[in-house]
């Protein structure tokens, strides 16, 4: 049978008239639709040429006007903002310096007036000898030198920032030079009888608190309780929890920290595993914050409570009856930038509302001044390690009345002291490898001072509280 005569159809109209193949798209078109197809291709070519010409104009414009690029504009804006910050800081420093200088002059006038009165008196009485004259000459020389070169005013430059920030500081001489020293062999004041739930035992103590009678309150983590050890007692007493892990009114689940609210005469407890913060008074528990992995707590002189949110990498401040706390540090996701935190643990607030944060996952301690958008590194920050420049999973941080920062350098089994601005710290206690001897620690967590400046350490893996007595200067 003869093969049928098959005709190719147009891609557009499907008619079997004479068709023409477009080699570009490999489709067949009748004459009419081939013309339309070519016209469409011509329009596309003109659009490409138009785009080409516009881009060429952009290149020419950028070549002759390089200052108009978006990156240059960003640099210009950065420059403007930086200059404004420098000018603001310089003006603040001038004002602070003028106030300090005026105070120094007033103090000097008072000293000079007292000296003048004494000179006038002995001149009138005509009762003096060589010793008196030497004394007055020495006193006058001291006052003159102190006035011309005041030792309590200086400038400090922060080298951690690209633009060095200067600030005026005024510290009494004894604060800059005095450093407390402690006995290296500790006294066990709570626990120390192995891990367990008996009243003479602890099981991984964390946060600690001490009252004026030197009674110690301990967040006994894995016993799910708060215990109180009176001075020189061999056993503790349960004041909260102690009924097994749970979320009932008489239960706790791995409490991490405890602080005291003087205004409301109550304890505040970080009930870690229950994702809540409790107020405890008169054997009653009241939930004040819910749905937060709170590790550390602190309270300022106004009674505002600060909580470290281990999960959301931030610290919030809570006022009474707050529905949601106010963000005061972090809150920019997990990270190691100056406006970020990584699993913060314990916190401390000073009289100026500066917040000290153990930035556990970043192996550093941060200081966030009031209303600051970012913090500064004041300890560690050089990666995980055991050199004097490093920390390894820091826990409790406290600041003494001299302004020195103490850090429980947990995984290095030591307590470190850092002075703000120093590049490295010093080992205060521990640091003799992990162990349970009186001069050793094993994963220290809690720190505090009593009213005699003795240092207490919650020695977590040794299940004890160690007291390091201050050495009198």
Question: What pLDDT score does 128 carry?
Answer: 74
Enumerate the domain spans of the chain: 79-170, 187-468
Which residue is it, tokens 């952009």?
Answer: 58
Question: For position 173, what pLDDT does the model report?
Answer: 45
pLDDT of residue 139: 77
What is the structure's pLDDT at 167? 55
pLDDT at position 2 is 42
- Which residues, at least 6 apart from 398, have a Cβ–Cβ distance to it below 8 Å? 348, 405, 406, 447, 448, 449
CA 310, 312, 315 angle in degrees (round to 5)? 70
- Distance (Å) of CA 11 to CA 24, 309, 372, 422: 14, 67, 69, 80
Domain 187-468 belongs to what topology?
A: Neuraminidase (2.120.10)
Coil, strand, or helix at residue 219? strand
Q: What is the pLDDT along the chain (473 residues), one digit of tens a residue?
A: 444 456 788 888 888 778 888 877 778 888 888 888 888 888 888 888 888 888 788 778 777 776 666 667 777 777 888 888 888 888 888 888 888 878 878 877 887 788 788 888 888 878 777 777 777 787 777 777 777 766 567 676 664 555 655 555 555 544 445 788 999 999 999 999 999 999 999 999 999 999 989 999 999 999 999 999 999 999 999 999 999 999 998 999 999 999 999 988 999 999 999 999 999 987 788 999 999 999 999 999 999 999 999 999 999 999 877 778 999 999 999 999 999 999 999 999 999 999 999 999 999 999 999 999 999 999 999 999 999 999 999 999 999 988 899 999 999 999 999 998 888 999 999 999 999 999 999 999 999 999 999 999 999 999 999 999 999 76
- Residue identified by tokens 């309150």 is 217
Please give the pLDDT value at position 219.
98
CB 354 within 8 A of CB 365: no
DSSP sequence for 283-351: TEEEEEEES--EEEEEE-TT--EEEEETTTTEEEEE-TT-SSPEEEEE-S-BSSSTT-BSSEEEEEE-T
Query: CB-based contacts of 358: which residues, under 8 Å, 6+ apart?
Result: 296, 344, 345, 346, 347, 365, 394, 395, 396, 397, 407, 408
User: Tokens in use for 463?
Assistant: 């299940």
């Amino acid at each position: 049978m003869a093969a049928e005569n098959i005709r190719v159809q147009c891609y557009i109209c499907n008619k079997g008239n004479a068709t023409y193949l477009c080699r570009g798209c490999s489709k067949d078109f009748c004459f009419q639709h081939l013309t339309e197809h070519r016209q469409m291709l011509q329009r596309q070519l003109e659009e490409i040429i138009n785009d080409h010409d516009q881009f060429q104009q952009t290149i020419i414009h950028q070549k002759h006007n390089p200052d108009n690029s978006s990156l240059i504009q960003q640099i210009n804006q950065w420059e403007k903002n930086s200059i404004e910050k420098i000018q603001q800081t310089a003006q603040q420093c001038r004002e602070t310096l003028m106030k300090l200088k005026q105070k120094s002059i007033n103090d000097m006038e008072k000293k000079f007036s007292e000296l003048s009165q004494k000179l006038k008196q002995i001149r009138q009485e005509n009762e003096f000898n060589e010793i008196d004259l030497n004394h007055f000459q020495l006193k006058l020389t001291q006052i003159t030198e102190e006035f011309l070169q005041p030792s309590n005013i200086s400038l400090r430059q922060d080298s951690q920032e690209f633009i060095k920030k200067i600030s005026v500081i005024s510290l009494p001489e004894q604060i800059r030079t005095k450093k407390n020293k402690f006995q290296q062999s500790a006294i066990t004041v709570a626990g120390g009888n192995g891990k367990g739930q008996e009243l003479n035992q602890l099981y991984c103590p964390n946060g600690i608190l001490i009252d004026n009678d030197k009674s110690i309150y301990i967040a006994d983590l894995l016993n799910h309780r708060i215990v109180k050890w009176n001075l020189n007692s061999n056993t503790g007493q349960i004041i909260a929890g102690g009924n097994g892990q749970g979320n009932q009114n008489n239960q706790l689940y791995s409490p991490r920290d405890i602080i005291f609210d003087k205004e409301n005469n109550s304890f505040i407890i970080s009930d870690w595993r229950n994702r809540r913060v409790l107020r405890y008074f008169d054997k009653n528990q009241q939930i004040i914050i819910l749905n937060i992995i709170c590790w550390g707590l602190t309270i300022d002189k106004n009674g505002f409570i600060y909580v470290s949110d281990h999960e959301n990498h931030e610290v919030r401040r809570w006022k009474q009856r707050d529905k949601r706390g106010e963000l005061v540090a972090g809150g920019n996701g997990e990270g190691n930038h100056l406006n970020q935190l990584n699993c913060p643990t314990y916190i401390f607030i000073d009289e100026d509302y500066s917040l000290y944060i153990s930035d556990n996952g970043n192996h550093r301690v941060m200081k966030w001044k009031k209303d600051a958008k970012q913090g500064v590194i004041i300890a560690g920050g050089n990666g995980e390690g055991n050199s004097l420049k490093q920390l390894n999973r820091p826990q409790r941080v406290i600041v003494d009345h001299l302004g020195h920062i103490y850090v429980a350098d947990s995984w290095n089994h030591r307590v470190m002291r850092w002075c703000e601005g120093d590049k490295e710290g010093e080992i205060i206690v521990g640091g003799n490898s992990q162990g349970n001897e009186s001069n050793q620690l094993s994963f220290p967590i809690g720190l505090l001072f009593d009213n005699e400046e003795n240092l207490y350490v919650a020695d977590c893996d040794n299940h004890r509280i160690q007291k390091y007595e201050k050495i009198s200067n």
